[in-house]
């Protein structure tokens, strides 16, 4: 299943995906399909989670990378491979190369999460940091391939990659034959393209919905223009789908086979990640949580049964901590409030007593006495509180105002 450069735009077929599935036997896991009671109640019909976050290397990327590298000619393998990735494709290429005995070099953005960099190295790849977005990193890796003769393994813009990712679609149909809608996160488009090829060939009635982060949504303008269009400065916490321009090969498939592309906000991504962790007990990265974010943003907008494809679970613990706090704040379960009070003995204790009455748990207190904005007898206090939702947040604010405190924010 190897393609020359001239043949790299060749259409991807169901036979390609089935061939990839045979190739991946014993290499990629058939990942679990878990039902979600909470999302089922919200959507009004069964919702299942396809857990590619539990795949080897923590994402679906091993599938396409292995199929692409396994299809290389002996002389191409001898030259080694090079890839560019924010992390998941990097790990997929590194592990696939190690399994196939091929030397690999991986270019990663300078801001790539440290756990992804470390894991890529541990799988045996040489890692080089270059650029700040995937598109810059891609250019550096392609230049390296030109200079050294190494085979460039694109993260999404190649038929072999798409065929490998499409094996997820075959598994979904096998595990949930009654599925009516499949929701998939989109970066460059390789995963959703592969899933669409497999699913639409066998079940053209199944609706395929792609999801992009609003700050890195290149597909909507590209689909409107009828060709891949680059966007400037894509920005999102979901580094796995932070791609500035769709790939040529997946774009054509998405335009033909994907029914709809939606966007989600950063708040919705945070809430989705928090839901996966709390309700499903699954660690999912922001890109992997994007299908769940789409369900949360419009729960009645999807015909069920629905399968939400959790594409990956590789998230930096520091980022996870920030996202969880952001998600809790968005849900009204975390409240930061600044207020002024008279600077006298016992004033802070009195304030904390007010909060105790309304059952707000104090997580952190910052007390400022010396500031030009403050009067001689004033102090400013910033409180971080654990709350129980928007209604409780409003109750806390009202209790503080009723007690005579000046709430600044």
Catalytic (active-site) positions: 61, 311
Please give the Cα distance from 128 to 117 (Å, whole number).
9
Burial of 10 by CB count in 10 Å (0-12 exposed, 13-18 middle, 19+ buried)? middle
Angle value at C-alpha 254, between 249 and 259, nearest 5 degrees = 175
Question: In sequence order, what are the residues at sequence separation of 6 or more whose Cβ sits closer than 8 angstroms to the Cβ of residue 177?
Answer: none
Closest by CA position to 262, among listed 183, 370, 374, 344: 183
Q: How far apart are CA 160 and CA 92, in angstroms?
A: 14
CA distances to 125, 378, 400 from 355, in Å: 53, 20, 8
d(Cα 67, Cα 54) in Å, to the nearest integer? 19
d(C-alpha 245, C-alpha 264), whole Å: 18
Closest by Cα among 316, 320, 312 to 88: 312
Cα–Cα dist 265/235, whole Å: 11
Q: Round to whole Å and give the CA distance between 116 and 95.
A: 13
In angstroms, the CA 155 to CA 108 distance is 12
The total number of residues shown for the chain amounts to: 409
Nearest residue to 107 via CA among 145, 68, 71:
145
Helix (H) or strand (E) holding 65: helix 61-70
Judged by DSSP in three states, 227 sits in: coil
CA distance 96 to 67: 9
C-alpha dist (Å) from residue 69 to 102, 142, 153, 185, 242: 8, 16, 8, 24, 24
C-alpha to C-alpha distance for 34 and 49, rounded to whole angstroms: 5
């Amino acid at each position: 299943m190897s393609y020359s450069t001239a043949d790299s735009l060749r259409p991807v077929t169901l036979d390609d995906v089935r061939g990839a599935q045979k190739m991946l036997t014993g290499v990629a896991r058939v990942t679990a399909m878990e039902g979600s009671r909470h999302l089922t109640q919200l959507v009004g019909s069964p919702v299942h989670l396809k857990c590619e976050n539990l795949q080897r290397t923590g994402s679906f990327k091993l599938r396409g990378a292995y199929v692409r590298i396994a299809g290389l000619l002996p002389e191409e393998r001898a030259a080694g491979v090079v890839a560019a990735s924010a992390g998941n494709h990097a790990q997929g290429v590194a592990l696939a190369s190690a399994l196939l005995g091929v030397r690999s070099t991986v270019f990663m953005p300078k801001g790539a999460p440290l756990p992804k960099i470390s894991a890529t190295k541990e799988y045996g790849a040489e890692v080089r940091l270059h650029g700040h977005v995937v598109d810059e990193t891609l250019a550096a890796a392609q230049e390296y391939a030109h200079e050294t003769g190494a085979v460039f393994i694109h993260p999404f813009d190649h038929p072999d990659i798409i065929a490998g990712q499409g094996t997820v679609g075959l598994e979904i149909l096998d595990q949930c034959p009654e599925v009516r809608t499949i929701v998939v996160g989109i970066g460059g488009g390789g995963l959703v393209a592969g899933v669409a090829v497999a699913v639409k060939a066998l079940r053209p009635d199944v609706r395929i919905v792609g999801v992009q982060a609003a700050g890195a949504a290149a597909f909507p303008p590209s689909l409107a223009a009828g060709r891949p269009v680059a966007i400037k400065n894509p920005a999102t916490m979901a580094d796995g789908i932070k791609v500035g321009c769709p790939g040529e090969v997946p774009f054509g498939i998405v335009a033909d086979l994907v029914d709809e592309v939606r966007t989600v906000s950063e708040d919705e991504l945070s809430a989705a990640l928090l839901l996966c962790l709390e309700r499903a007990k699954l660690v999912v990265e922001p890109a992997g949580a994007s299908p769940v974010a789409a369900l949360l943003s419009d729960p009645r907008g999807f015909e069920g049964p629905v399968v939400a494809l959790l594409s990956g679970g590789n998230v930096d613990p520091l980022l996870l901590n920030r996202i969880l706090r952001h998600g809790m704040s968005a849900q009204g379960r975390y409240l930061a409030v600044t207020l002024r009070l008279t600077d006298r003995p016992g004033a802070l204790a009195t304030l904390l007593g007010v909060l105790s009455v309304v059952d707000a748990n104090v997580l952190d207190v910052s007390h400022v006495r010396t500031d030009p904005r403050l009067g001689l007898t004033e102090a400013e206090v910033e409180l971080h509180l654990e709350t129980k939702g928007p209604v409780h947040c409003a109750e806390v604010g009202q209790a503080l105002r009723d007690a005579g405190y000046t709430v600044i924010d």
